[in-house]
Chains A and B, each alone.
Chain A
Amino acid sequence: MKSRHLLGLEGMSRREINLILDTAEKFKEILARPIRIVPTLRGVTVVNLFYEPSTRTRISFELAEKRLSAEVVNFSASISSARKGETLKDTVRNIEAMKTDMVVVRHQAAGVPYFLTQCLKSSIINAGDGAHEHPTQALLDLLTIREKHKKIKGLKVTIVGDIKFSRVARSNIWGFKIMGADVSLCGPSTLMPVEIEKMGVKVYSDLDRALEGADVVMVLRIQLERQKGGLVPSPREYTNKFGITRERLERLNENFTIMHPGPMNRGVEIMPDVADGPHSVILDQVTNGVAIRMAVLYLLSGGEGKVE
C-alpha cells in the first residue's frame, strides 16, 4: 500500500484496490471459522472516532478490529467533552497521548481525516467525511459486485438517489471507474451536483432511461429532511419518479444486482420486495464490510520494516 492512511479512493490505482479486495477475500474465510479471531493486530490500539451516528460502519469496524485481536476504543461525540466545546484537534491529541496507533474517523466536515494526518502520528482511516468520501463502503461494494459478476470491468452501474449529499456515491464513482466500469447517475436535478459529468459519468433525470441495460443498481437513501429544505416535493413524489420497484427493474439485464448502503427507507427509495428479493445483495454487502475493514486494518498496520 502506498500510504499509511486510507482517506479516499480518489487517486488509488487498480493494483491497490485489487490488493485490498483479494486480501478481504482471504479474511472472509476467517469469518466462517468457529473461532473468528486471529492474533494479527495484538498490541495495536485503534480508536473509533465517530462524530456522526452510525450503525453498520461503526459495528463493522469494531468487529473487524476485535477479530484481529486489536484493542478497541470507541468515541461518540454526543457523550464526550465535545459537548463542553473541546475542539477536534485537542480531542484527538489527548486520545493519542494515551498511546493509540490507528484512528478510524467519521465526521460531518469533509477533510477531517486529512486534517488528522497532519496533527497525529497514527494511521488514519476515513469512515465517512461529510459528502466527500466513504472509501471502505465503496470497497465493500466493489467486492460484492466482483463476487456476484466475477468481474467489474465493463459492467454498467447506475447509482440512483441523492448524489449531491452522498459520500457513498462519490467514493463509488471513483472506485467503479478505476476498475473500468461504466457509471451512470440518476436523481432529482435538485440533488445532482453541477458538472458531475466531468467525473466521467452519464447523468439522467429519467429513471427508466438510466436503468436501461444496467447490471448493477445502487440505491441511495433519500434523506427526508431534504423535503423540508424544498429540494424534494414529497416522499411520495420521490417514490413515483425514482423509487426502485419490481416493475421498473424489468428493463434490466437478467443477471442484475440491487445494492443499498443502508439504512433503508423501505417503501420510499426502495420497495421491500426488491430489498428482500433474489437480486438484492444488501446483506452480503454488510458481511463483506467486515472482511474489507479487516483487510484495510491489516494492510495499513505495517511498521518501519526494522525487524527481519
Chain B
Amino acid sequence: MPRKKKSVVVLDAKTIQRALVRIAHEIVEKNKGAENMAIIGIQNRGAYLAERVAKLIEQIEGVEIPLGLMDITLYRDDVQTKLEQPLVQKTDILFDVVDKTIILVDDVLYTGRTVRAALDQIIDFGRPRSIQFAVLVDRGHRELPIRADYVGKNLPTAKDDRVKVKIKEVDGEDSVSVVRQ
C-alpha cells in the first residue's frame, strides 16, 4: 500500500518571528552595530524575510538600512540543462555594494548552489567589504562548501523530504513544514 505523504509543521508563525528577532540581534551584535550595512533578500520569499530583518535592525539601532532584492535565476549553474527556463524575477539593488557589509537573506539553505549564485551576482555589482548569510531554515545536504552565519532553525531532513516555507506576504501565513516521503 503506498504510504501517504505526511506534512509536519516544524515552525509556526510565533517561532518564526522569534527566530527573526534573534537573528536581527545577532547581526547587530556580530557587526558591533549597523554601520555601512545593507540587506539583500533572494527572490522570492527571501526578499520578504529580508524586509522584516531590515525593519527589526532599524528598530534596534535606530538607523535606516538599505534594502535590496535579487533574483539569481540568471546565475544558476543549471541554466542550460533545465527543460523549461525558470521565470526571471525582479532585481532591485539601488545602493552601491562597494565597501558595504552585505547581509544576504533567504528562507532555506540546502545544497548551497543558490547562495553561490547570489555571491557571484553581488560581486558583479561591486566589491563589498564582506557578505554574511542569514537563513530561516538550514536543512543540511550541502553540495558546495557554503555555510550560514545566522540560522533560524537547524532542520535535519532526508534528501527526498520536501521543505515547504510559507510567508504571510506570499502565502497568507507564516509556517515551515516538512513533507516526509
Contact = CB atoms under 8 A, between A and B. Distances in A.
Interface of A: 1, 19, 22-23, 26-27, 29-30, 33-35, 37-41, 43-44, 68, 298-299, 301-308
B79 A41 contact: yes
A303 B81 contact: yes
B95 to A, nearest CB: 13
Given A39-B75, A40-B75, A26 B89 contact: yes
A302 B85 contact: yes
B71 interface: yes
B88 A307 contact: no
A29 B91 contact: yes
B122 to A, nearest CB: 11
A307 B81 contact: yes
B85 A298 contact: yes
Main secondary structure of the interface of A (DSSP, over half): loop
B90 interface: yes
A33 B124 CA distance: 10
A33 B70 CA distance: 13
8 contacts: A22-B87, A23-B87, A35-B124, A39-B74, A41-B80, A43-B80, A302-B81, A307-B81
B78 A307 contact: yes
Contacts of B89: 26
Contact of A305 (B71, B83, B92): B83
B120 interface: yes
A29 B125 CA distance: 13
Given A23-B88, A26-B88, A26-B90, A304 B83 contact: yes
Contacts of B169: none
A13 to B, nearest CB: 15
Interface in B78-108: 78-85, 87-92
A306 B81 contact: yes
Main secondary structure of the interface of B (DSSP, over half): loop
Contacts of B85: 1, 298-299, 301-302
Interface in B94-152: 120-121, 124-126
A32 B117 CA distance: 20
B81 A301 contact: no
Nearest to A19: B87
Nearest to B126: A34
| Chain B, interface residues (CB within 8 Å), range | 20 to 34
Contact of A38 (B74, B80, B126): B74
Nearest to A308: B78
B126 to A, nearest CB: 8
Contacts of B124: 33, 35, 37-38
Given A41-B80, A44-B80, A298-B88, 18 more contacts: A1-B85, A23-B87, A23-B88, A30-B91, A34-B125, A38-B121, A38-B124, A39-B74, A40-B74, A41-B79, A43-B80, A301-B79, A301-B85, A302-B82, A302-B83, A304-B81, A305-B81, A307-B78
B75 A302 contact: no
Interface centre among B71, B85, B88, B89 (most CB of A within 10 A): B88
A33 B122 CA distance: 12
B91 A26 contact: yes
A306 B25 CA distance: 43
A303 B83 contact: yes
Contacts of A27: 88
Interface centre among B92, B121, B124 (most CB of A within 10 A): B124
A301 B125 contact: no
Contacts of A19: 87
B80 A301 contact: yes
A15 to B, nearest CB: 12
Interface centre among A33, A39, A301 (most CB of B within 10 A): A39
Contacts of A303: 80-83
Contacts of B71: 26
Contacts of A307: 78, 81-82
B67 to A, nearest CB: 16
A184 to B, nearest CB: 35
B121 to A, nearest CB: 8
B81 A39 contact: no
Interface centre among B80, B82, B83, B90 (most CB of A within 10 A): B80
A23 B91 CA distance: 12
A35 B98 CA distance: 13
